Amino acid sequence: MIVKGRVWKFGDDINTDVIIPAKYLRSIDKSIWPKHVMEGIDPTFSSKVKPGDIIVAGKNFGCGSSREQAVLAIKWAGIAAVVAESFARIFFRNGINNGLLLIECKGIYNSVDEGDIIEIDLDKGIIKTKKGDLSFKPLPPILQEILNSGGLVEYYKKKVKKH
Amino acid sequence: MSTAIEKILSYSIGKNISAGDFVEVNIDFAYFHDGSGPLIIDVLKEMEVSNIFDKSKVAVIFDHSAPPYNDQSATLQSKVRKFVIEQKIEKFHDIGEGICHQVVPEKGYIAPGMIIAGADSHTCTLGAFGAIAIGMGATDMAYILATGKTWLKVPETIGVECNGKLKEGVTSKDLILEIVKIIGTDGANYKVLEFFGDTIKNMSISSRMTMTNMAIEMGAKTAFIEPDEKTIEFLGRNGKKFKSDSFTEVISIDSSSIDPKVACPNNVSNVKSVSEVEGIEVDQVFIGSCTNGRYEDIYEAARILKGKKARVKLIVVPASKSILIRMIKDGIIDILLEAGAVIGVPGCGPCLGVHMGVLGENEVCISTSNRNFIGRMGAKTSKVYLASPLTAAASAIEGKITDPRKYIK
């Protein structure tokens, strides 16, 4: 499978408070979350981002609060994948659990500029950038299985509930 | 040779496992709050789960919006309250009982050697009790409530050895801020931080909880402190004690060399000695949170504030109702009120920027909490400095960041 999209670039230590500020969390209307995605850094981001776009970030993406709304805001804004130097662990689990493609790829930050088109080849484990190809490690089997199921809810229905 | 974490997991699973293994484990205790609850309930519905795995192993605590600050937060709490009744969850603590990470150990719901999951990033706080306590998101928690299990990658453990006596006016908060500075915001990513050494041994449970609480700010999966008689006394129950006999690496700290520290905006690892930032004007002081809202913290702040007046907004929020009751009985509350403090309802208070002390444009707060991210406590242009309750109290008196040692006789 190939995921191709336009890059939006963010730095190191992007925390879940800036991905979705706490004032929007206690909302009955969940559709407001993608409207405020990344507001803590760029209040205009949600109006610029298009379905299929890719976020590229530095180290420790998604650190801080365990709020799963951070993943949902990104996913529902139509972001196809987040590629980062590294992820904070709770965000990483939340992402995979919701079927959001997260790729840890060393060297990605310095290989792309905002607006670039990159191509992620999931089968080969390669990201094509204008500065060349970067390889990334596949997910551990359990995570790959959850992601392939479309998230932990579907995984549960398929694997656990049936037995 | 293995770590306490590996031993607890091996014991629970019934076979020897080590760092790097992927395992499925039974969860001994799980809890969530009013912030994560509504999403968890939605996910359980999607999973078509009608009954949780074991109601006696689950607690629900309302701490994030206590009391609710608008109609939507109230409606969402009602939804969780209804769930608690339907599922017959008896370990339920409604608004005003306190912060989940404080209430769960105070009630003795946990014991050393347990594997605990909490739907909050600061669940690592409970590693102070010799247990494995892991923070998770809503979907992971829903899966645990459905099955009683979760998958884990067995983590490596970094040992943080702290020896020496903390100087007068220096607390475990200053020590942990120094450790965050050394390790960085992701230096412990996917790993466990185990604190040991005579400084830790001599610490109260309150001070130990301040240490373990901030492990997540270094990316850690959780923190761990070997349990002792103080642990058992606090919990009012015994458990299985495990001890590490190896670490991936050991970081050694001379606790006696630490000065009061302040984490400057907008990164928790941006730590400086108070002397480097003294004089920065503040608009608000917050003493509370799961990091520093315990009796010892508020008592020490009150010692500094006694007979003085705060020049700026001073908000004190005890971490639990039992702490508040003790403050009332011991007269701490009078000292604080006379100093001009506003006392909040036990809970998370203004830490997460939604109520009870939200910061306005360009306002500056010195806070005893754990995060100073952009906009964390309010407006995007507001700023948060993290410090000990002593530094926060001294700063309230002067209206600017102040070294607390000048107020300690």
pLDDT tens digits, B47-80: 999 999 999 999 999 999 999 999 999 999 999 9
In this prediction, the residues of chain A whose per-residue pLDDT falls under 70 are: 162-163
Beta strand pairing status for B22-26 and B149-153? Answer: antiparallel
| Distance between CA atoms of residues A154 and A156, nearest Å | 5
**What per-residue confidence (pLDDT) applies to A15?**
97
In a domain, B71, yes or no: yes
Tens digits of per-residue pLDDT, A42-65? Answer: 999 999 999 999 999 999 999 999
Q: Tell me: do B110 and B208 sit in the same domain.
A: yes
- Please answer yes or no on whether B373 and A15 come within 8 Å at the CB atom: yes
User: How large a percentage of chain B has pLDDT more than 70?
Assistant: 100
Helices (H), ranges, B313-387: 321-329, 332-338
Collect all residues with Cβ–Cβ distance below 8 Å to B20 and sequence separation of at least 6.
B153, B154, B156
- Please answer yes or no on whether A66 and B374 come within 8 Å at the CB atom: no
Q: Tell me: do B172 and B294 sit in the same domain.
A: no
Residue where one domain finishes, among candidates B191, B223, B253: B253
- Nearest Cα of chain A lies from the Cα of B334 at a distance, in angstroms, of 33
- Please answer yes or no on whether A21 and B221 come within 8 Å at the CB atom: no
| Distance between CA atoms of residues B154 and B19, nearest Å | 5
Tens digits of per-residue pLDDT, B12-60? Answer: 999 999 999 999 999 999 999 999 999 999 999 999 999 999 999 999 9
Tens digits of per-residue pLDDT, B322-351? Answer: 999 999 999 999 999 999 999 999 999 999
Q: Which residue of B has its CA nearest to A154?
A: B47
Neighboring chain A residues of B48 at a CB cutoff of 8 Å: 157, 161
| Distance between CA atoms of residues A118 and A65, nearest Å | 29
Question: Counting Cβ atoms within 10 Å, is residue A83 exposed (0-12), middle (13-18) or buried (19+)?
Answer: buried
Question: How many structural domains compose chain B?
Answer: 2
Q: Tell me: do B208 and B60 sit in the same domain.
A: yes
Domains belonging to chain A, first-starting first, are 2-160 (3.20.19.10)
- Domain with B325, as residue range(s), is 263-402
Peptide bond before residue B26 is cis, with ω within 30 degrees of 0: no
**What per-residue confidence (pLDDT) applies to A163?**
61
DSSP H or E segment with residue A121: strand A117-121
Residue where one domain finishes, among candidates B215, B233, B253: B253
- Please answer yes or no on whether A156 and B73 come within 8 Å at the CB atom: no
A86 vs B139, B151, B189: nearest CB: B189
**What per-residue confidence (pLDDT) applies to A161?**
75
Q: Is the pLDDT of residue B409 over 90?
A: no
In a domain, B409, yes or no: no
Collect all residues with Cβ–Cβ distance below 8 Å to A161 and sequence separation of at least 6.
B47, B48
For residue A111, the 8-state DSSP code is: G
**Is residue A53 less than 8 Å (CB to CB) from chain B?**
no
**What per-residue confidence (pLDDT) applies to B393?**
98
Q: Tell me: do B234 and B271 sit in the same domain.
A: no
Q: Tell me: do B342 and B241 sit in the same domain.
A: no
Q: Tell me: do B233 and B288 sit in the same domain.
A: no
Neighboring chain A residues of B69 at a CB cutoff of 8 Å: 26
| Distance between CA atoms of residues B376 and A145, nearest Å | 35
- For residue B55 the two structure tokens come to 């109601």
Collect all residues with Cβ–Cβ distance below 8 Å to A138 and sequence separation of at least 6.
A125, A144
In a domain, B316, yes or no: yes
User: How large a percentage of chain A has pLDDT more than 90?
Assistant: 96
Q: Tell me: do B249 and B268 sit in the same domain.
A: no
| Distance between CA atoms of residues B134 and B157, nearest Å | 14
Peptide bond before residue B67 is cis, with ω within 30 degrees of 0: yes
**Is residue A99 less than 8 Å (CB to CB) from chain B?**
no
Collect all residues with Cβ–Cβ distance below 8 Å to B206 and sequence separation of at least 6.
B294, B295, B296, B297
Mean pLDDT of chain B: 98
In a domain, B94, yes or no: yes
In a domain, B281, yes or no: yes
Q: Tell me: do B13 and B36 sit in the same domain.
A: yes
In a domain, B407, yes or no: no
Q: Tell me: do B222 and B285 sit in the same domain.
A: no
Q: Tell me: do B310 and B371 sit in the same domain.
A: yes
Q: Tell me: do B230 and B169 sit in the same domain.
A: yes
**What per-residue confidence (pLDDT) applies to B270?**
98
Q: Is the pLDDT of residue B268 over 80?
A: yes
**What per-residue confidence (pLDDT) applies to A159?**
85
Q: Tell me: do B221 and B369 sit in the same domain.
A: no
| Distance between CA atoms of residues B112 and B388, nearest Å | 27
Give me the CATH number covering residue B220. 3.30.499.10
Which residue from A50, A56, A97 is spatially nearest to A78, judged by alpha carbons?
A: A50
Question: Counting Cβ atoms within 10 Å, is residue B141 exposed (0-12), middle (13-18) or buried (19+)?
Answer: buried
Residue where one domain finishes, among candidates B209, B234, B253: B253
**What per-residue confidence (pLDDT) applies to A160?**
83
- Nearest Cα of chain B lies from the Cα of A90 at a distance, in angstroms, of 6
